[in-house]
């Protein structure tokens, strides 16, 4: 009955207003489908490549910098130790009258609003220690709301200014030893049952275990005695390669699987040591896939083309029709990121580390216990520092960093050197085709600069070999030897330093972070 009245009312509106030029259908559409919120401003890119970065910063800087308010100040934290679930009181000032988008965290692990945050006022916060948290500083972080954007896939995204963070006070999380130990074993030994899915690709055991030296030339890391894998063997059988594991497949045959460590363990270029959490920048994952006996020839050739340190898992099981291998992510010291992946997808922290498992779906999804334990282990992995840095040159480079306004996007708050914003492609540009997720979000998330010296090559598609190349104006000039034609209207990361001495100093500073 109510529906009939609504229809009659709509028809009356058409009759009454039809001749006046007013279109009721437009009003109805606006009520049902509200207009998209404002997006970041369009930019007119200058022809001088050395000025493109300045034009982008001039257009966006005013909405990225923090407001003029002071940073929050923590006076005391009570207690200063306890297991997950412990109620902690934080007193001080400048926290804001309501939580809103603001956060309180331990070791960059945020307490969830309305679940773990029990009280929030300008001078006092009470929260419970998150279950997947490990020891570190308590911080209060303010995120000033700007607007809500709509992404190309129709999702809404909250946009904030750069964060304002308090100085931290140390908190000892007790009772996480077993979770960290389990997470360690999971990182190196648990394959998410992906050898069952990989059985669609026939990669026999003999091709992995038969000739370890063959795999070393593909950039795979040899296990030898360099790597502490904890109790990884409780999950699967080891091979001579870090992260490559063996289990019996559903057909009773040995099948090859791979753990987190396969992609997310790299070699420190400064010391030569194998370090968990670094991206394996030498890893030629496509070479492994290309060894499958039953892979179609066109897919074999595509996998062979993947650059070292990249993967394009959407080429086979989740096909997107685009050849776009992307860089393996850093997994060390960045658990404080609100947005995950190079596309900037919002995910709960424990879900981020099991994202690959979620993609595979049932029965490969991880249990909550596995996700939380892995999360605990990864939060113990701190950024690594380059021991081979000229401190005088690095200090000069630090001044260049701020003078060149690098901190507009790579905000040093929280020690992450990122404001975590998603920058549209028409501003930031890209050398390689965007992934489906980047198409969904409409851009690329500002990456962290932590452990930067150990994560070359650079950009999401590994298209720039060195930091000097990245900051060199010649990279944006078509006639240059280091030029690469972008797939977007504007060049990829068009922020450069014209002066050679200043650029070298900035590179030294970036290598010191």
Provide the residue ranges of all domains of the chain, joining segments of one domain with +.
1-35, 73-173, 177-379, 391-512
Are the C-beta atoms of residues 101 and 145 closer than 8 Å to each other? yes
Expressed in percent and rounded to 5, the helix, strand and coil fractions of the chain are 35, 20, 50
**pLDDT value of position 42:** 64
Per-residue pLDDT of the chain (513 residues; tens, 9 = 90+): 444 444 444 444 433 334 444 444 444 444 344 444 445 566 777 888 889 999 989 888 888 888 777 899 999 999 999 999 999 999 999 999 999 999 999 999 999 999 999 999 999 999 999 999 999 999 999 999 998 888 888 888 889 999 999 999 999 999 999 999 999 999 999 887 676 555 556 665 556 555 656 667 778 888 877 889 999 999 888 888 898 888 766 667 777 788 999 899 999 999 999 999 999 988 888 887 787 777 788 888 888 888 889 988 776 655 666 788 889 989 998 888 988 888 888 877 766 655 555 555 445 556 778 888 999 999 999 999 999 999 999 999 999 999 999 999 999 988 999 999 999 887 888 998 888 888 888 889 999 999 999 999 999 989 999 999 999 999 999 989 999 999 988 899 999 999 999 999 999 999 999
Q: Which residues contact 183 (CB under 8 A, 6 or more apart)?
A: 373, 374, 375, 376, 377, 378
Could you tell me which CATH class the domain 391-512 is placed in?
mainly alpha
Confidence (pLDDT) at 365: 57
Beta bridge partners of 93: 73
Q: Please give the pLDDT value at position 15.
A: 38
User: What does the alpha-carbon distance between residue 294 and residue 290 come to, in Å, rounded to a whole number?
Assistant: 9
Tell me the helices (H) and strands (E) count for the chain, helix number first: 18, 23
224: left (phi over 0), alpha (psi -120 to 50) or beta: left
Convert the pLDDT of each residue in 361-404 to its tens digit.
445 556 778 888 999 999 999 999 999 999 999 999 999 999 99
- Residue 22's pLDDT is 43
pTM above 0.75, yes or no: yes
Domain 73-173 classification at class level:
mainly beta
Per-residue pLDDT at 204: 58
The pLDDT assigned to 40 comes to 58
The strand pairing partners of 311, in sequence order, are 326
- Which pLDDT value is given to residue 38? 47
- The confidence score (pLDDT) of residue 369 equals 85
Following DSSP, what letter does each residue of 33-71 receive, concatenated? SPPPPP-PPP----SSGGGHHHHHHHHHHHHHS--SSPP
Contacting residues for 502 by C-beta, under 8 A, at least 6 apart: 396, 400
């Amino acid at each position: 009955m109510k529906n009939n009245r609504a229809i009659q009312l709509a028809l009356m509106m058409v009759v009454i207003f039809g001749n006046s030029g007013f279109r009721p259908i437009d009003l109805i559409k606006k009520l049902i489908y509200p207009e998209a919120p404002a997006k970041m401003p369009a930019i007119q890119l200058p022809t001088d490549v050395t000025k493109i970065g300045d034009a982008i910063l001039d257009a966006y800087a005013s909405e990225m910098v923090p407001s003029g308010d002071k940073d929050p100040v923590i006076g005391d934290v009570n207690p200063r130790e306890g297991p997950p679930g412990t109620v902690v009181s934080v007193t001080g000032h400048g926290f804001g009258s309501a939580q809103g988008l603001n956060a309180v965290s331990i070791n960059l692990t945020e307490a969830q609003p309305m679940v773990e945050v029990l009280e929030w006022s300008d001078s006092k916060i009470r929260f419970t220690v998150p279950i997947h948290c490990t020891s570190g500083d308590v911080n209060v972080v303010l995120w000033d709301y700007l607007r809500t954007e709509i992404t190309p896939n129709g999702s809404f995204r909250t946009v904030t200014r750069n964060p304002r963070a308090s100085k931290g006070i140390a908190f000892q999380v007790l009772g996480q030893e077993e979770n960290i130990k389990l997470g360690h074993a999971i990182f190196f030994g648990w394959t998410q049952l992906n050898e069952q899915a990989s059985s669609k690709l026939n990669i026999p055991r003999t091709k992995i275990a038969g000739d370890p030296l063959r795999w070393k030339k593909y950039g795979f890391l040899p296990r030898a005695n360099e790597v502490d894998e904890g109790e990884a063997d409780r999950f699967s059988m080891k091979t001579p390669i870090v992260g490559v594991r063996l289990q019996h497949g559903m057909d009773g045959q040995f099948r090859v699987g791979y753990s987190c460590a396969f992609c997310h363990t790299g070699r420190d270029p400064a010391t030569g040591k194998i370090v968990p959490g670094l991206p394996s920048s030498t890893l030629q994952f496509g070479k492994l896939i290309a060894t499958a006996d039953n892979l179609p020839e066109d897919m074999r050739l595509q996998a062979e083309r993947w650059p070292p340190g990249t993967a394009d898992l959407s080429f086979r099981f989740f096909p997107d029709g685009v050849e776009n291998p992307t860089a393996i992510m850093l997994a060390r010291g960045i658990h404080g990121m609100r947005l995950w992946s190079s596309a900037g997808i919002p995910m709960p922290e424990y879900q981020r580390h099991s994202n690959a498992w979620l993609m595979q779906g049932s029965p490969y999804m991880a249990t909550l216990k596995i996700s939380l334990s892995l999360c605990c282990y990864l939060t113990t992995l701190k950024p690594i520092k380059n021991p081979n840095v000229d401190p005088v040159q690095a200090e000069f480079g630090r001044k260049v960093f701020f003078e060149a306004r690098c901190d507009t996007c790579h905000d040093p708050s929280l020690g992450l050197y990122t404001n975590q914003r998603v920058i549209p492609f028409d501003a930031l540009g890209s050398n390689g085709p965007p992934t489906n997720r980047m198409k969904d979000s409409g851009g690329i998330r500002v990456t962290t600069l932590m452990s930067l010296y150990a994560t070359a090559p650079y950009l999401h598609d590994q298209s720039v070999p060195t930091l000097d190349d990245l900051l060199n104006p010649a990279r944006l000039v078509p006639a240059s030897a280091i030029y690469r034609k972008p797939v977007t209207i504007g060049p990829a990361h068009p922020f450069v330093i014209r002066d050679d001495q200043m650029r070298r100093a900035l590179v030294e500073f970036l290598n010191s972070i």
